[in-house]
Amino acid sequence: MKSDFARRALLLALIPATFLSLPLRAQEVLYEVQSSYQYITVRDTANGYRQLIFDGRFDGTDAIQSEMNLSNPLELSLSYSRHIMAALPIASRLERILVVGLGGACMQRYLYKLLPGARIETAELDPEIRNIAARYFFFKEDSRQVVHVGDGRTFIENSKDKYDVIFLDAFSAVSIPYRLATREFLNTVKERLAGGGVVCANLWDAEADYYDMLKTYSAVFPEIHVVKCAYSGNSILLALPARMDLNVKAWMEKAAVFEKAHSTGLDLRALIERGAAETVHIPAGARILSDK
C-alpha cells in the first residue's frame, strides 16, 4: 500500500497548536473494520479527498495509504504515486504490469486509463482491502484489471508469468514487511521480469533500514536509481536487471518521448529532473537483508 507521512508532518508543523487540538477523527468516517491484518479506516476530508488509513491513531501522524480526489478520481494526489510512474519510460514494453499492494487502487485505476493495451495485475494480502477499493475507491476488475488475493511474496514465488514492470508498494501502517525486502525475495522478483523489464519500489527514506534496502537491491540488480519524492518522506527506487548506464539526462529524454505518446498529466521529465540523483549513496555500514 502507500504512505505520505512526511508531507502530513510538514503541514502539521505549520499549523497553529489550536488547530492541532481539533480531532482529526471528526472528519467524515465512511467505514471502519478490523480485518485479519489491520484496523482499516476510510474517511473523507473537508477539502474533498478520500483517504485510506491503517491502524490509525488520528493524532495527525498517520500515514496515508491511499488518497483519492473525489472531484477527479484519476488524479494521483500523493507525491509518491506521481513519482513512481517515472519507471514507465524505462520499460521496453508495457503489456503486463504487476503491483504488489492494492490500497485504494489509485495507481491501478490510473494505469488502466493511461495504458489501454496493458493488463494490470495486483497481489493483495488482505481481502478486505479488495472490497474497500471496489466499494469506496471506484475500483473495477475485468480481464485487464485483475487482483490476486494472497501473500505477495508467495504469489511471485509461485508465478510462472513475466512482467514488464513490477511495482512493489506494500506497506503496513509503519513499515515495509521485512519478507518483501530481502535478497531472496528480490532475486525471485528479478526472475519474474520480462526482457527489458524494470522493478520499481516505493520506500520510506526515513525508515531505519532504508539504506539496508538500497544495499540489498544493489546486491541483486546491477543498476539502481533513486528519485526523491517532493513534499514527502518517500523515495522511489528503480532497479534494472541489466546495466543500461542510465543517467538523469537520458531518463528525462525517455520521459519526454513517453509523454508525447501517453498523456500522463504529470510532467515526468520535471519530476525526474528535480528528484533523481546521478549516483546512489549507500553508507559503508549498510547491510544486505536476508531471510537467514
State the pLDDT confidence band at 2, using cuts at 50, 70 and 90.
Answer: low
In the chain, where does DSSP find H-type helix?
Answer: 5-13, 17-20, 79-83, 106-114, 127-136, 152-158, 183-191, 210-220, 248-261, 268-275
If asked whether residues 251 and 233 sit together in one domain, one would say yes
Query: What's residue 10's pLDDT?
Result: 42
Grid coordinates representing 110 are 490510473
State the pLDDT confidence band at 19, using cuts at 50, 70 and 90.
Answer: very low
What is the pLDDT of the chain when averaged over all its residues?
91
Closest CA to 86 of 245, 272, 257: 272
If asked whether residues 124 and 266 sit together in one domain, one would say yes
If asked whether residues 18 and 103 sit together in one domain, one would say no
Which of 69, 89, 119 terminates a domain? The answer is: 69
Question: CATH no. for residue 232?
Answer: 3.40.50.150
Domain range enclosing 243: 79-275
Mode of pairing for the β-strands spanning 39-44 and 28-34: antiparallel
List pLDDT tens digits, range 179-196.
Answer: 999 999 999 999 999 999
Alpha-carbon dihedral angle through residues 188, 190, 191, 193, given to the nearest 10 degrees: 130
List pLDDT tens digits, range 107-149.
Answer: 999 999 999 999 999 999 999 999 999 999 999 999 999 999 9
- Collapsing DSSP to helix, strand or coil, 236 comes out as strand
Helix-strand-coil split of the chain, %, nearest 5? 35, 25, 40
List pLDDT tens digits, range 236-249.
Answer: 999 999 999 999 99
Query: What's residue 21's pLDDT?
Result: 28
If asked whether residues 142 and 52 sit together in one domain, one would say no
Q: At what angle do helices 248-261 and 268-275 cross, to 10 degrees?
A: 160
If asked whether residues 242 and 267 sit together in one domain, one would say yes
If asked whether residues 60 and 177 sit together in one domain, one would say no
- The sign one gets for the Cα dihedral 60, 51, 213, 184 is positive
What is the arrangement of strands in the sheet containing 119-124, beginning at the earlier edge strand?
145-149, 119-124, 96-100, 163-168, 193-204, 234-240, 223-228
Q: Per the domain annotation, does 188 fall within a domain?
A: yes
What is the CB-side half-sphere exposure of residue 142 using CA atoms within 13 A? Answer: 7
Q: Is the pLDDT of residue 15 over 90?
A: no
Q: Is the pLDDT of residue 252 over 50?
A: yes
What is the number of residues in the chain? 292
Backbone angles phi, psi at 195, to 5 degrees: -55, 130
**Count of beta carbons in the 10 Å neighbourhood of residue 155:** 19
Q: Per the domain annotation, does 281 fall within a domain?
A: no
If asked whether residues 148 and 224 sit together in one domain, one would say yes
Q: Is the pLDDT of residue 77 over 70?
A: yes
CA 155, CA 106: separation in Å to the nearest integer? 21
Q: Is the pLDDT of residue 18 over 50?
A: no
What is the arrangement of strands in the sheet containing 64-69, beginning at the earlier edge strand?
28-34, 39-44, 49-54, 64-69
Distances (CA, A) of 212 to 97, 139, 169, 205, 219: 26, 34, 17, 11, 10
CA 45, CA 217: separation in Å to the nearest integer? 37
Which of 22, 41, 69 terminates a domain? The answer is: 69
Q: Per the domain annotation, does 237 fall within a domain?
A: yes
Q: Per the domain annotation, does 74 fall within a domain?
A: no
**Least confident interval from 124-128, 155-159, 170-174:** 170-174
Total number of domains constituting the chain: 2
Tell me the mean pLDDT in the region 210-216. Answer: 97
The residues with which 226 forms a beta bridge, in sequence order, are 237
Query: What's residue 1's pLDDT?
Result: 56
